[in-house]
Amino acid sequence: MEIHRFEKLWLVAALLLIVAFIGTIVYGALGAGVAMVDDSGGTVDPDDPTASDNFREPGVYTTDDGDVEVYVIARQYLFSPGSTEPIQVPANTEVTFYVTSGDVTHGFNLAGTNVNTMVIPGQVAEITVEFDETGDHHIVCHEYCGVGHHDMRGTVDVVPQSQFEVSDE
């Protein structure tokens, strides 16, 4: 049986595309550091996340080593803190966000950064980042969470270290 040369060419091109697609998936999963939300941040009671030992009252806290921890609860249709008052964090400091949901699945995306995670009820998503430049970043919910989803947004203000107001623990 003879295979026409154009059929051979298309077969080779299709196989190369398949290999390239598999390669990009493997790179995205292993090389770029992309990971699924897991229970490394711990679990909480979705009805009362702050009752758990591993989740504090929503707010910004400093650690003993000078790093910053931000605890955020996403609820229909706001981030607490973030929506009614901006979250203020210092530049050039390691900031860890602990985000959970009290009702339905939400998203937590800081536009213009690599901070992006799903927020699942009962799970604490832990994201660590260091902001090199000052400025505002908008928090966007990228998972449809109901009729008011389009209004669910907030702000993170990155300020110079000298302007950062230290919170009490």
Question: Is the bond preceding 81 in cis, omega lying within 30 degrees of 0?
Answer: yes
Identify the band that residue 29 occupies on the pLDDT scale cut at 50, 70 and 90.
confident
Helix, strand, coil percent values for the chain (each to nearest 5): 25, 35, 45
Contacts of 136 (CB under 8 A, 6+ apart): 86, 155, 156, 157, 158
Output the pLDDT for position 38: 61
Q: How far apart are CA 124 and CA 38, in angstroms?
A: 8
**In Å, how far are 10, 72, 93, 97 from 124, measured between CA atoms?**
48, 10, 22, 10
Is residue 103 within 8 A of residue 46, CB to CB? The reply is yes
Is residue 38 within 8 A of residue 124, CB to CB? The reply is no
Output the pLDDT for position 25: 86
Output the pLDDT for position 32: 66
122: left (phi over 0), alpha (psi -120 to 50) or beta: left
Is 94 a residue whose pLDDT tops 60? yes
pLDDT tens profile 6-24: 999 999 999 999 999 999 9
Identify the band that residue 42 occupies on the pLDDT scale cut at 50, 70 and 90.
confident
Is 41 a residue whose pLDDT tops 60? yes
User: 3-state SS string over 36-61?
Assistant: CCCHHHCECCCCCHHHCCCCCCCEEE
Output the pLDDT for position 168: 52
Output the pLDDT for position 53: 84
Contacts of 61 (CB under 8 A, 6+ apart): 68, 69, 70, 71, 167, 169
